[in-house]
Structure 1
């Protein structure tokens, strides 16, 4: 069985390929579409704009979240195209992890000259530098 570190590495490599090809400066939907194509090329299983229902005391709320991607049925991938990632971006991914009952999320920012990413879990985060 492939370890989650290896799976997140494959996703990040696909994101790097997209960033190398397009650079920064586009809006998020452009990167989302390009990344979907790259996932297909690299054979990374994904669901785009995956519905993440929010539960409260066992009852599903009307408000729903949509993750940009869920890869390998287990890893939430949230894309941004902003000048700098901020705490609310990280909080969004953590909320998605809780809503989907998943352990690992990737926050990817295409908005800087170098691809920035952060691997988040319910317990801690790891940024690239």
Structure 2
């Protein structure tokens, strides 16, 4: 499966989670756990709170990169539950993609009334 095929599965699972949990209003961690479950049910390999070391000038920093969801080792999903989207979220995910040498990330804001409006695609040389 490539990144675009995985992203279709993620979008479908996101809509299911949002619908089933009744929309916005819960903690980000609740949506993240439910989304991980849905993706696993769809046959995806999902790592929650995946940690990667950050290297700086030959030194490994003590604080690792922490990714909300890593799907099939190809797509990063950053879960949010905020009333208003902030463009810094895309910058954050692009940095994650570059550090992990990945091509696609999705920001999912479960705080939107319609979650389809809260899904943002971030690409790194895709």
Instruction: Give SS of 2:112's match.
Output: coil
Give the superposition deviation at 1:60: 1.9
Residue aligning to 2:29: 29
Within-5 A mapping of 1:48-67 = 48-67=48-67
Residue aligning to 1:9: 8
Give the superposition deviation at 1:58: 3.8
Q: Distance in 1 between matches of 2:80 and 2:7?
A: 17
Decide whether the 8 Å contact of 2:9 with 2:39 is kept in 1.
Answer: no
Q: Structure 1, unaligned stretches of length 5 or more?
A: 125-129
RMSD: 1.5
Q: Distance in 2 between matches of 1:13 and 1:35?
A: 10
Q: Distance in 2 between matches of 1:123 and 1:24?
A: 32
Report which of the two has the higher share of strand.
Answer: 1
Instruction: Give SS of 1:63's match.
Output: coil
Residue aligning to 1:113: 113
Give the superposition deviation at 1:16: 0.9
Give the superposition deviation at 1:28: 0.2
Alpha-carbon deviations, 1:77-96, whole Å to 9, x = none?
11000012112211111121
Within-5 A mapping of 1:31-110 = 31-110=31-110
| TM-score, length basis structure 1 | 0.87
Give the superposition deviation at 1:42: 1.5
Alpha-carbon deviations, 1:43-90, whole Å to 9, x = none?
121111100221223432222121011001111111000012112211
Q: Structure 2, unaligned stretches of length 5 or more?
A: none
Alpha-carbon deviations, 1:6-60, whole Å to 9, x = none?
1111111111110111111111011011112212221121111100221223432
